[in-house]
């Protein structure tokens, strides 16, 4: 598939109380973003595991976006720091498996952040389009 026709597949880890409502608002307001964006809801972004991120790449996702709680997390006052640590751990694993660290992104998305979410998806899709398909880049061991 040529890069012009390539539509990157993005997995979004979203939090049910903070970022999900903002993402839902994007849909309710009919703000357009790629239909190749898939969302998984969880209680807190600091609960994501680096192995989940690597599994997403193994399953053919071209990028992983973490819609983090930021400082609004009701589970942990250090949520943002914990989530950042997960990103750093994931980037180490990604480099070990010849996956560009540009394939992972994190941003705080709040309950009223419909436009920022759409903007993040557009920008991330653009970056991933330049990188091309994950299948051409990875050398993951099953």
Would you list the DSSP string of the chain? --TTT----EEEEEETTTHHHHHHHHHHTT----TTEEEEEES-GGG--HHHHHHHHHTT-SEEEEEE-GGG-SS-TTHHHHHHHHHHHHHHHHHHTT--GGGEEEEE--TT-HHHHHHHHHHHHHHHHHH--GGGT-----
Residue 22 lies in a domain: yes
Confirm whether pTM is higher than 0.75.
yes
Residue 56 lies in a domain: yes
Q: Encode pLDDT of 52-104 as tens digits.
A: 999 999 999 999 999 987 666 555 666 677 888 999 999 999 999 999 999 99
- Number of domains the chain is built from: 1
> Can you give the CATH number for the domain in which 78 is found?
3.40.50
Print the domain residue range for 93.
Answer: 10-136
């Amino acid at each position: 598939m040529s890069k012009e026709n390539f539509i990157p597949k993005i997995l979004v880890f979203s939090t049910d109380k903070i970022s999900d409502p903002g993402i839902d608002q994007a849909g309710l307001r009919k703000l357009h973003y790629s239909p190749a964006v898939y969302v998984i809801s969880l209680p807190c972004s600091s609960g994501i595991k680096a192995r989940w991120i690597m599994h997403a790449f193994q399953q053919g996702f071209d990028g992983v976006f973490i819609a983090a709680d930021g400082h609004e997390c009701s589970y942990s006052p250090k949520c943002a720091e914990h989530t950042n640590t997960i990103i750093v751990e994931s980037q180490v694993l990604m480099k070990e498996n010849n996956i560009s660290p540009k394939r992972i992104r994190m941003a705080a998305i709040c309950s009223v952040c419909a436009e920022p979410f759409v903007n993040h998806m557009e920008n991330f899709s653009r970056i991933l389009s330049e990188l091309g398909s994950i299948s051409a880049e990875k050398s993951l061991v099953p």
